[in-house]
Amino acid sequence: MSERRQRWRLGIVGAALAAGLVQAFTQPPFAQDPAYHLFADTRVIAGVPNFWNVVTNLPFLLVGAFGLARLGRLRRPDLRLEVLAFSSGVALVALGSAFYHLAPSNASLVWDRLPMTVGFMALFSLIVRDRLQESLGRRALWPLLGLGATSVAYWYATELQGAGDLRFYFVVQFLPMLLIPLILLTGPGGGGLRSAWLWATLAIYLLAKQAEAHDRALYEATALLSGHSLKHLIAACAVLCALLAALRPRHAAD
């Protein structure tokens, strides 16, 4: 890729990033809605409260373990640290989210959101390194992980002070998901990630968010699983697609 085209891509992504930050932080602060913790499915099964919202986190643990077990099969072995961080974050989401759903509250939600930021930030760093600029992505991993953790700590600290502010956390969760399609559309990659699996990741993640938004409606319609439980299962599929994007096919020579 020519230096001029590289500067153009960096400028486009940088402008989108700046616009997203301005849009987010010119809005007034907003606290966590207490109704967020009122999930549709509160059934107690085998003594476990909110049973299905708890146990549907198991796929995150399995997918995270899958990623960790296949670090030796990456299309680009030099992306090992990013994939390690991503897979570890996903595995920890299973534990943090299960803990939160046993007794939903702002305090337990911290342990759900912390590993989520690890996953989001590691994936973003991975895509920046492979698809936008090698040196930028390589340097970005640890600062991005720090920003993710800080966003959760800041949100919870403001909640404790009676003036909750979720804006920083929302930037960490949603802005990368808006920037990733732009990065994919504006140029080729470095051979470490397959585009089809990345687009599948984004599409399935959007489906998971739709299920989450229709928690009660889906529970009432199916009488089996709520939208939030389905969100866990669907989001785990999105994570699996992201890992498959980074792995060599089984038939590839070792």
pLDDT digits (tens, 9 = 90+) for 228-246: 999 999 999 999 999 999 9
Which pairs count as long-range contacts for 104-110, CB under 8 Å and 24+ apart, including other chains?
104/37, 104/39, 104/50, 105/37, 106/32, 106/37, 106/156, 106/159, 107/156, 109/32, 109/37, 110/152, 110/156
Which pLDDT score, from 0 to 100, does residue 251 have? 60
Among residues 202, 199, 209, the alpha carbon closest in space to that of 230 is found at: 209
Average pLDDT of span 142-147: 97
pLDDT in tens, 218-228: 999 998 999 99
Which pLDDT score, from 0 to 100, does residue 214 have? 97
Range scoring the smallest mean pLDDT among 6-10, 56-60, 92-96, 214-218 = 6-10
Which pLDDT score, from 0 to 100, does residue 253 have? 46
pLDDT at 205 over 60: yes
Chain centroid to Cα 225, Å, comes to: 22
Q: Is 191 left (phi over 0), alpha (psi -120 to 50) or beta?
A: left
- Six token digits for residue 169: 């956390």
Distance CA 108, CA 148 (A): 17
pLDDT at 124 over 70: yes
* Residue type (1 letter), 93: V
Average pLDDT of span 105-128: 97
Average pLDDT of span 135-141: 93
